[in-house]
Structure 1
Amino acid sequence: MIDLFFYIKAFAAITITLIAILLNPLLNLTTLKNSLANNNQSNKLIYFLKKYRLLEDIHIIPYFFKAIGQYVYKINYSKTFTNWYTFKKQANSNPNRLFMRYPVKNENMNKIKKEFIFEDYTYGQAEIMIYKLSSYLVNEANCEPGQIIGMYYQNNPMFIFLWYSLWQIGCIPAFLNYNIKGSPLTHSIKIGKLQKIFVDDRVAKNFVCDIEDNIAVHYVNEKQLFSLMNDETSNLFVQKHSIRTPVTLKDYDPAMLIFTSGTTGLPKSAVISWRKSSIGCSLFGRIYHMEDESTNVFTAMPLYHSTAALLGVCAVISQGGSFTIAPKFSASNFWKQVYFSKATHIQYVGEICRYLVNTAKEINIDAVNKINYERDHNVKIAYGNGLRDTIWLEFKQRFNIPVIGEFYASTEAPFATTSFQVGDSDGVGACKSYGPIVSTFLSLQQVLIKTDPEDPTCPYRNEKGLCEVPAHGEPGELLMKIFFPKNPKTSFQGYLGNKAATNSKILRDVFKRGDAYYRSGDLVKSDKRSRWYFVDRLGDTFRWKSENCSTTEVENCIMSNPLLKKNGNETQLLEECCVVGLKIDGYEGRCGYAILQPNQNESFDKLELVNLLLPRMLKNLPKYSLPIFVKYVDEIDHTNNHKIKKTSYRNDVLPFGVNGNETIYFLKHYKEYVRLTNEEYKCIKSSEIKL
């Protein structure tokens, strides 16, 4: 029966797609695009197409077939399917078009004109600078084709130039999170098989780890490199096509590595394939209307994450537009930077939206020049993930944003879902919202399944041992079909150097024996109009401060040495610990919450003990992974198969637990743990004390 439904859907999708393609030239696309952010109902055809979400289907589908056809040709004949050739094409076609924009300084406000100043680079300038930097990488840094090269770097132009120079010479860049240090950094370098690492001098103090002698670490002298790249007499190095893209290269081979936390307890090296970074990002750019030459995507998100790197930079380059990168997010400067950069698109995560909504309106008003930065900008589309429906409309209306593009994606996932929400009611909060044509197509690949009521991390299986689709409104785990189950890497490339973690993301025998699906590890629910809404993450991760945090990593750090000094002697004071993500009123995501089971045979001061643990955690964990709250229990709850029952802890209640009589400790100002009082908790909720 599953196979029959599959072919019926496939036939329906093809039929209505052909109709859409035939309709496409009959419609005035300029009129359609101009109407996207306009709720005017005077044009009956436009109103009909928008109401039933057909307008975006017609915008996407013809481009999809054209792009796929060109991509297949590039794979099989010209061998130009990698991102380097996407950039090269734009540089050849539009050398004088803006490529990248960057604030000159962090304190970059011109005090006289009250405007931000930017460094601008055109496509043509960027191409020549990349060739010159390539010469340095090959001749001075001894980078060789096929090597995996680490980048421990902040947001700035050199990040982009290094990245594309590595692609140009045939290397594989690996983006390291510059917040990690110690054992997680050492682990990342090892599993990523990095052979060289370029370190940004601005974050060099964080680069503390144990690495093998054969790994070369280059502390970048940016002033020297930019001097070389701007010198007209500098040598250029253009890699041979046959070396940059050998005939053996597949489109599912690694284009880059991005490190992400997971249930293993340490970062995993997610393989980003050429397919995902090129054709995937190209389709994403089309979906979010980046095809206009004036498009400028503003991002203050770290480039070591896939959201900024892939869905920001790669997506807009695929369409020939430009991007602005801020060195870091600043709530007070955000809309000024957006205004002066002339950005048409901005990227967000839910936390950023909340920070912006909580800022005073006065900081964005220039009374002298009569500018309201948060409303007088050029932004047409804000896109990202984690924008909760509780502030969705407030964010949209206050900041004068016509379209919200909430999407679902993860670094390692071989797919993404998107929405294009124009109005103020229909589809608010959805991370997947298409018209019937695209929805029918995607239903061939993307599906939700029921989870086990006792353990949501496990799929529910019926008496036949197969999975089932949940009802509308019922959360289920999001899966993606792997069309060649015997060779999953054609769909899901997994994690380099971690076969076990890769296999754990593949679920087999889902709807029939022998099939295979990629597991997202996330709970999603649907409505009756095929829209999807993100619910929560499964398993041992939580999201805090725009970062995915591994509970196992924190647990391992706490328990790496349970012997703590008591009266000058080392004594085992901890038996076990459990870390979860805890929801806090008024905050996006979940913060770290550690439950500690002490040695009952020892007497100790609980507050003193948790503060004894703090130096270890500060040394080995990034700030966003630190447990903000801690409590002690006599015994941590376990299931019959000895798994910790994390659900009850994830739903704990502050400030005194579910029963209202527990003692919970709070990491105040990230300096020391103190006992959480009712007054302290009120200050946290009112943001007088910031988490």
Structure 2
Amino acid sequence: MNIQPRSVTADATQAPPARGAATTAPSVTKSPVTKPPSVTKSWLRAIEITSRIETEPRRLLASVIDEWAAAAPQRDAIVSDRESFSYAALADRIDRYARWALTNGIGIGDVVCVLMPNRPDYLAAWLGITKVGGVAALINTQLVGASLAHCIEVAQPKHVIVADELAEAFASARPHLAQAPRVWTHGGAGADSIDQALAALDAGPLAPHERREVSIEHLALLIYTSGTTGLPKAARVTHRRVMSWAGWFAGLTDAGPGDRMYNCLPIYHSVGGVVAPGSLLMAGGSVVIAEKFSASRFWDDIARWDCTLFQYIGELCRYLLQAPPRARDTQHRLRLACGNGLRGDVWEAFQARFAIPRILEFYASTEGNFSLYNVEGRPGAIGRVPSFLAHRFPAAIVKFDLDSGLPLRGDDGLCVRCARNEPGEAIGRIGDAADRGGRFEGYTSDAASDTKVLRDVFARGDAWYRTGDLMRLDDQGFFHFVDRIGDTFRWKGENVAASEVAEAIAACPGVTDVSVYGVSVPQHDGRAGMAALVVDARFDIDALHRHLADRLPSYARPLFLRLRPALEITGTFKQNKQDLIRDGFDPGVVSDPLYVGGAQAARYVALDEDLHRRIAAGELRL
């Protein structure tokens, strides 16, 4: 398609909607379900799209939306139950936010924090702020108090946009803020209402004197780590990274103007806020924004919005699979589901039950410098690097020492590559400024960034990014996720991968959710396995013992069990294990039912205070 400037209307027979206006009843135009592209075609299309990034360094994602607004002004860009934007309306809304940033003296590199639930205007806000060089810090809406204040403080913002319904959460953080940025309310009224400020500004395209020399090298976003192992860190995301994420996924999903992507993931995170919407906006398709994930509404929404794709995180798929079967499960026109973290034991059952033609699993992290894509759809794998793209995705797996928490080094002082099917830490080579792949943009904290860099890896002077993830490479060249380094622990001289133990436990009837972690035991080296379980009426603890004895070696079977009513997760569906680890197996601390087993035990037995005392004193052999 030849995309024209926004000032030219591609379809002269239809007038575009009023500039800056959101439509309230978006039309649903069905597109034919196309045959999945070949693996090679998908890669080539992604390369074609992303090749423009280097040749047009001032073309930002907001620029792409301007192009589509000219070519197809009335096509739905972002739709939701709250509000919807055509491409023309979205382009105008973005420019209003850009003018707001200019009017309020937000210069290139100045930060604006955005604390807002999922809604189309969230995307318009960060696209507009970054279009003129501002930086949008996307704040986790689940945070309160000191944790929320920490995320605001590390961004050092001049302004904060707070949705009216999150005013109370922001108020809880105010006492912990050392500085007082200007606060704008979204959805409220008064002198600090950003809605009123935007309404007073022009909605047309930016005039030449309003434009700034913003390129792909400039910082666009701050996106935070989940903070499951400490306070969140703010990862730096340039426009180059935004365009790269959007371009690769637009190509590998074969997205087009007729596609609709269902996105119920939080917009404050890289997948829900950039990858899912960015890929469809790059391709001229439509993004459906749900305020939150709901297993009971999911398939109704997919059908109601006539979606052809949806973005997942692995735990989301497991929740859907646990829901009672309904006729609506397969009454859809989905052609692809794209996401990360879909476990091998869930993949095929999920794909078969919900009749999903194709699954595109990938591996990436907000701050990471390489990605993996399972374009072939091999269940359980997270991706493979084609030989012709090895220079763009410089990944390796090196031997890892759990005791030191560092990669092993040989006699020459360099790291040692793992053999095929041998678990180790995945690392990505950090390229220089001229390198098209392998960049590491780091965090706002230089000290935090330095902890992720491994030097003198395979040659003196080289540098590689540490993922903190254990992986293995199989004989066909597919990468498989093994565990997070912090989740893998050593017991009885053996390495235990929490994810593999959790997978075995989850297959036991009656177990609806599980979290596996290591706990310290007095008088013993290493950490013993412990599992927090959520169970239903089918659960039998003796059956679990037999189940695990048939599937796991003795050292990998959890020594301790804790039965929980529910497990805490982050907004991006990651398990939060830190409180569980801190509680340990002390019945004086834990009110939930506790059990203890062991390699030689015939069954799990209730763990009371007397038994705990004997274990802590070293009187019992475990």
TM-score, reference length from structure 1: 0.65
C-alpha displacement of 1:631 = 2.7
Following the alignment from structure 1 to structure 2, what is the Cα–Cα distance between the partners of residues 322 and 408?
24
- Aligned residue runs from structure 1 range 483-494, under 5 A: 483-484=431-432, 491-494=439-442
Sort the Cα spacing of 1:395 and 1:488 in 2 relative to 1 into closer, same or farther, 3 A: closer
Sort the Cα spacing of 1:84 and 1:352 in 2 relative to 1 into closer, same or farther, 3 A: same
Contact 2:395 2:428 in 1 (8 A): yes
2:14 is the counterpart of 1:61: no
C-alpha displacement of 1:296 = 1.1
Contact 1:262 1:541 in 2 (8 A): no
- Aligned residue runs from structure 1 range 505-544, under 5 A: 505-539=452-486
2:164 is the counterpart of 1:215: no
Sort the Cα spacing of 1:157 and 1:70 in 2 relative to 1 into closer, same or farther, 3 A: closer
2:205 is the counterpart of 1:256: no
Give a deviation string over 1:35-83, Cα, whole Å, max 9, x none. 438xxxxxxxxxxxxxxxxx3223322651x4454322212xxxx2322
Letter in 2 for 1:631: G
C-alpha displacement of 1:245 = 4.0
C-alpha displacement of 1:378 = 1.4
1:306 maps to 270
Sort the Cα spacing of 1:130 and 1:350 in 2 relative to 1 into closer, same or farther, 3 A: same
C-alpha displacement of 1:135 = 4.2
Letter in 1 for 2:336: I
Contact 1:168 1:238 in 2 (8 A): no
Q: Identity of counterpart residues, as a percentage?
A: 26
1:356 maps to 320
Contact 1:98 1:122 in 2 (8 A): yes
Contact 1:133 1:229 in 2 (8 A): no
1:43 maps to none
Following the alignment from structure 1 to structure 2, what is the Cα–Cα distance between the partners of residues 269 and 506?
16
2:249 maps to 284
2:74 to 68, 91, 96: 96
1:631 maps to 584
Letter in 1 for 2:121: M
1:415 to 370, 373, 376: 370
1:324 maps to 288
2:202 is the counterpart of 1:235: yes
Give a deviation string over 1:500-526, Cα, whole Å, max 9, x none. 110111111111111111111101111
1:152 to 115, 118, 139: 115
Following the alignment from structure 1 to structure 2, what is the Cα–Cα distance between the partners of residues 530 and 332?
38
SS at match of 1:146: coil
Sort the Cα spacing of 1:442 and 1:491 in 2 relative to 1 into closer, same or farther, 3 A: closer
2:53 maps to 71
Following the alignment from structure 2 to structure 1, what is the Cα–Cα distance between the partners of residues 471 and 123?
34
Sort the Cα spacing of 1:541 and 1:177 in 2 relative to 1 into closer, same or farther, 3 A: farther
C-alpha displacement of 1:251 = 3.0
1:127 maps to 91
C-alpha displacement of 1:402 = 0.5
2:423 to 448, 459, 475: 475
- Aligned residue runs from structure 1 range 198-213, under 5 A: 198-207=161-170, 208-209=172-173, 210-213=176-179
C-alpha displacement of 1:354 = 1.0
Give a deviation string over 1:462-515, Cα, whole Å, max 9, x none. 11111122122111211111123999998111001x111101111111111111
Following the alignment from structure 1 to structure 2, what is the Cα–Cα distance between the partners of residues 222 and 416?
40
Following the alignment from structure 2 to structure 1, what is the Cα–Cα distance between the partners of residues 418 and 440?
24
C-alpha displacement of 1:596 = 9.8
Give a deviation string over 1:176-195, Cα, whole Å, max 9, x none. 10111222222211211122
User: RMSD across aligned C-alpha pairs, in angstroms?
Assistant: 3.7
Contact 2:347 2:380 in 1 (8 A): yes
Letter in 1 for 2:415: C
Contact 2:245 2:274 in 1 (8 A): no
C-alpha displacement of 1:237 = 6.7
Following the alignment from structure 1 to structure 2, what is the Cα–Cα distance between the partners of residues 418 and 654?
41
1:577 maps to none
- Aligned residue runs from structure 1 range 568-647, under 5 A: 583=502, 585-586=505-506, 590=515, 624=576, 627-628=579-580, 630-631=583-584
Contact 1:132 1:234 in 2 (8 A): yes
SS at match of 1:327: coil
2:64 is the counterpart of 1:86: yes
Structure 1 gaps of 5+ residues are 1-32, 38-54, 105-118, 363-371, 543-579, 598-616, 635-652, 666-674, 676-691
2:379 is the counterpart of 1:428: yes
Q: Which runs of 4+ in 1 moved over 6 A?
A: 223-227, 485-490, 591-597
Sort the Cα spacing of 1:526 and 1:239 in 2 relative to 1 into closer, same or farther, 3 A: same
C-alpha displacement of 1:308 = 0.9
1:560 maps to none
Contact 1:126 1:161 in 2 (8 A): yes
Letter in 2 for 1:56: V
2:137 is the counterpart of 1:174: yes
2:355 is the counterpart of 1:400: yes
Following the alignment from structure 1 to structure 2, what is the Cα–Cα distance between the partners of residues 510 and 182?
41
Contact 1:57 1:435 in 2 (8 A): no
Following the alignment from structure 1 to structure 2, what is the Cα–Cα distance between the partners of residues 194 and 664?
51
User: Bigger CA drift: 190-199 or 300-309?
Assistant: 190-199
2:401 is the counterpart of 1:452: yes
Give a deviation string over 1:302-339, Cα, whole Å, max 9, x none. 00111111210112111111111100010000000011
Following the alignment from structure 1 to structure 2, what is the Cα–Cα distance between the partners of residues 149 and 420?
37
Relative contact order higher in (CA < 8 Å, ≥ 6 apart): 1
1:379 maps to 334
Sort the Cα spacing of 1:350 and 1:269 in 2 relative to 1 into closer, same or farther, 3 A: same
Following the alignment from structure 1 to structure 2, what is the Cα–Cα distance between the partners of residues 96 and 229?
26
1:161 maps to 124
C-alpha displacement of 1:657 = 5.6
2:232 is the counterpart of 1:267: yes
Sort the Cα spacing of 1:263 and 1:401 in 2 relative to 1 into closer, same or farther, 3 A: closer
Give a deviation string over 1:340-364, Cα, whole Å, max 9, x none. 11111111111111110111113xx
Structure 2 gaps of 5+ residues are 1-32, 490-497, 507-511, 523-567, 588-592, 613-622
2:150 is the counterpart of 1:187: yes
Following the alignment from structure 1 to structure 2, what is the Cα–Cα distance between the partners of residues 229 and 218?
9
Sort the Cα spacing of 1:144 and 1:239 in 2 relative to 1 into closer, same or farther, 3 A: farther
Following the alignment from structure 2 to structure 1, what is the Cα–Cα distance between the partners of residues 513 and 371?
21
SS at match of 1:374: helix
Following the alignment from structure 2 to structure 1, what is the Cα–Cα distance between the partners of residues 363 and 407?
20
C-alpha displacement of 1:206 = 2.1
Contact 1:381 1:403 in 2 (8 A): yes
Contact 1:403 1:421 in 2 (8 A): no
2:11 maps to none
SS at match of 1:401: coil
Sort the Cα spacing of 1:281 and 1:590 in 2 relative to 1 into closer, same or farther, 3 A: farther
C-alpha displacement of 1:146 = 3.2
Following the alignment from structure 2 to structure 1, what is the Cα–Cα distance between the partners of residues 145 and 488?
20
Sort the Cα spacing of 1:59 and 1:220 in 2 relative to 1 into closer, same or farther, 3 A: closer
Contact 2:265 2:272 in 1 (8 A): yes
SS at match of 2:400: coil
Sort the Cα spacing of 1:242 and 1:172 in 2 relative to 1 into closer, same or farther, 3 A: farther
Contact 2:338 2:360 in 1 (8 A): yes
Following the alignment from structure 1 to structure 2, what is the Cα–Cα distance between the partners of residues 132 and 485?
34
Contact 1:268 1:495 in 2 (8 A): yes
Sort the Cα spacing of 1:461 and 1:336 in 2 relative to 1 into closer, same or farther, 3 A: same
